[in-house]
Every structure is written in C-alpha cells, then in structure tokens.
Homo-oligomer: A and B are copies of this chain.
C-alpha cells in the first residue's frame, strides 16, 4: 500500500487519476490540491459523492512531502517544473502528466512552449513514460514524463513498424482527431457547446506542440532523424482520440507480414490490442478503458501503410497511463486498478 498525492485534482487528468486511484487496492490517496478551487473533492467531482472525504487545498509542498510516497502532477506545463524539484529532492517519486519533462531539448521546449526550462537538472533524469517502450527504465525511475495524449496514440501505432523496419520509412503523416477534453477544462470560446456541437475542424495544422514529442521518440527508436506531419482535429465528443497514420514506404509493404510484426510486438502487452483484419478501432470501444486498439491497412500500389489507433485521451492518453506507470514503478501487477 502506498500513499499517493494528486496536484491539480480539479482538471480532467487530475480528476480521472483520482477516480482510478480510489479504485486501486494498493493505493491510498492521502493528498489532493488545486490552486483555482478548494473544498471537498466531491464538490469538484460530484460523481464522487459518497466515495471520498478528501479535501482539496491550495498546494502546500511541505504537506505533499509529508503525506505522500508518490505524487501525480496534473498541472499545466511550466507549473510542473516548479513543483517537481522539491518533491524529488525529498525522495518522492513523481509522475508528471504535463509536458515539462517530455522534450529532452531545452531549445525545443522554449520553441514550442514559449518559456525557458527551469529544471534542467531533473530533465536529464526523467524517463518518458510510454510503458510499452520504456518499461525497464520506468521500473527504477524517480521522475516520469507521462506522454502526451496525441503522442501516445501515434507512437503506439508506429513503434512496431519504426523499430523493425526503420530504413523502409520514407515519410509519416498523422491525421489525428480528438475529443474536447483533450483541451483541458479551461473556459474558451472555441470549447463552448454551441461552437463544438455539430461541428468539426482542423486546428494548429502542422504546428501542434505534440509534434516534436512524437519526432523525438520516433527518432530515438529509429536511430535516425524522423519527421512527421501532424494535423489535429477537434471532434464533437467528450473523450477519445482516433489517429489515422499514413506511412509512405520505400519498398512495397505486405499486410500479412506487418500484421505479424505488430502481433508479436504487442503480444504480452496488457493494454494494446491489434485488431483482426477487417475491424477498425473506434472511440466507443476504448473510452473509459486503458486500451489502445490498432488496425493496419496497406495500399501496395502506392507503397502506403495506413495505421489507425484509438485511445481514451484521459485514460491511456493521460491518467490511465500514469497509473500504469505507477504500477510498474511500484511493482504492482500492471493491470491493478483497471476495471472494465
């Protein structure tokens, strides 16, 4: 049994983490905080009425250190790198759901997030928490950079191909579609019901801050520079990301061989499902779960592979993956706490 804290429990990722941890048999949630709102947690998240007596306070570093073994940071980027150092110095394990420790390059961070990085010390020790790729490093990590929602869906779709047939890859396009909760819980005109409902559009075309995160991991896996063209879209749903990934190849790809590669790659993974031929991932099937579903298709004439993946952006794309990381770090069975 460990004692866990959540900093930023009022946002979607924080709230979802809380719900998972309250169901987790090996965790006691001992500390929750939020800076924009205080009081009983079940006022913030009314579905928790009758489930918890936790009180949410403004963040207090001393209390967090005192009451927790492990802390989830579900705060906006730039906040995490101000909060994490103290926790780490006090030997607390930290799982950061923000973007602060994902990019290894401080120049890239400055460029895409508009602020200088203030904790380069821990940046170099952070482990990118894509469980399927870095499980061994995660086991002993002190600081996890929990992957972004778009990168999770994109990378899980690309890893088997990129890691096994690197030289065959000519170019990568990712056409991603996300539900509204991906934008966080902020007040913004573009997130009002009457703006999103019965609507659909692309945004930040070729210019989304998750692009360098995807490129960094792919390049690391491929041991060569890989670029992606990334175009996100806003779906009129609350949850879920579907990514349609187009990989142009040098040699003609074969569907059967690729399917074998994917099945083998994810054979023992508890939360990745390669779908049988003919099936397509869909949001309905992965929402409220920690699964990533994947399907493959091939256009041989055009040397094109089409990979579709679906995740729940708040689960596998955020809180679910964070808890999976915790399970790995704490040597709990990896599926612990994940009910249907």
Q: Could you list which residues of chain A lie within 8 angstroms of chain B, going by C-beta atoms? A: 12, 19, 22-23, 46-51, 171, 173, 175, 177, 180-181, 185, 187-189, 191-203, 205-206, 227, 229, 231, 233, 235-240, 242, 244, 246, 248, 270, 273, 279-289, 291, 293, 295, 297-299, 301-302, 304, 306, 308, 310, 339-340
Q: Are B177 and A233 in contact (CB under 8 A)?
A: yes
By secondary structure, the A interface counts as: mixed
Say yes or no: A191-B189 contact (C-beta < 8 A), given A242-B202, A306-B205: no
Known contacts: A199-B283, A227-B301. The answer to whether A238 contacts B194 by CB under 8 A is yes
Contact call B185/A284, Cβ cutoff below 8 A: no
Most buried by B among A173, A283, A289, A340: A340
Q: Which residue from chain B places its CB closest to the CB of A234 in the assembled complex?
A: B282
Contact indicator A201/B47 (Cβ below 8 Å): no
Q: In the bound complex, do residue A47 and residue B285 qualify as a contact, i.e. CB atoms below 8 Å apart?
A: yes
Interchain CB contact under 8 A, B198 and A286:
no
Alpha-carbon separation in the docked complex, A83 to B198 (Å): 35
Residue of B at shortest CB range from A180? B193
User: How far does the alpha carbon of A287 sit from the alpha carbon of B199 in the complex, in Å?
Assistant: 9
- A240 with B340: CB separation less than 8 A: no
Question: CA of A114 to CA of B144 in the docked complex: distance in angstroms?
Answer: 52
The answer to whether B201 and A242 touch across the interface, beta carbons within 8 angstroms, is yes
Q: Which residues of B contact A229 (CB under 8 A)?
A: 246, 299, 302, 304, 306
Q: Is the CB of A198 within 8 A of B283?
A: yes
What CA separation (Å) do A196 and B289 show in the bound complex? Answer: 18
Q: Using Cβ atoms and an 8 Å threshold, which residues of chain B touch A12?
A: 194
Given the known interface contacts A46-B285, A200-B240, the answer about A192 and B194 at a Cβ–Cβ threshold of 8 Å is no
Interface centre among A185, A240, A282, A302 (most CB of B within 10 A): A282
Given A273-B50, A304-B229, A340-B19, A197:B202 Cβ within 8 A: no
Q: Name the residue on B nearest A205 (C-beta).
A: B297
Top 9 A-B residue pairs of the complex, sorted by shortest distance between their CB atoms: A201-B282, A193-B196, A175-B175, A199-B284, A46-B285, A205-B297, A339-B339, A193-B193, A180-B193
- Min CB gap A166→B, angstroms: 18
A181–B23 Cα distance when bound, in Å, is 27
In the assembled complex, how far is the CB of residue A181 from the closest CB belonging to chain B, in whole angstroms?
Answer: 5
Knowing A177-B177, A177-B233, A238-B194, the reply to whether A244 touches B283 (Cβ < 8 A) is: no
Using CB atoms, name the residue of chain B closest to A49: B273
Q: A200-B242, A205-B297, A235-B235 are in contact. List 11 more A-B contacts (CB 8 A).
A: A47-B284, A47-B289, A48-B340, A171-B302, A192-B193, A196-B197, A197-B237, A198-B198, A206-B297, A236-B236, A339-B339
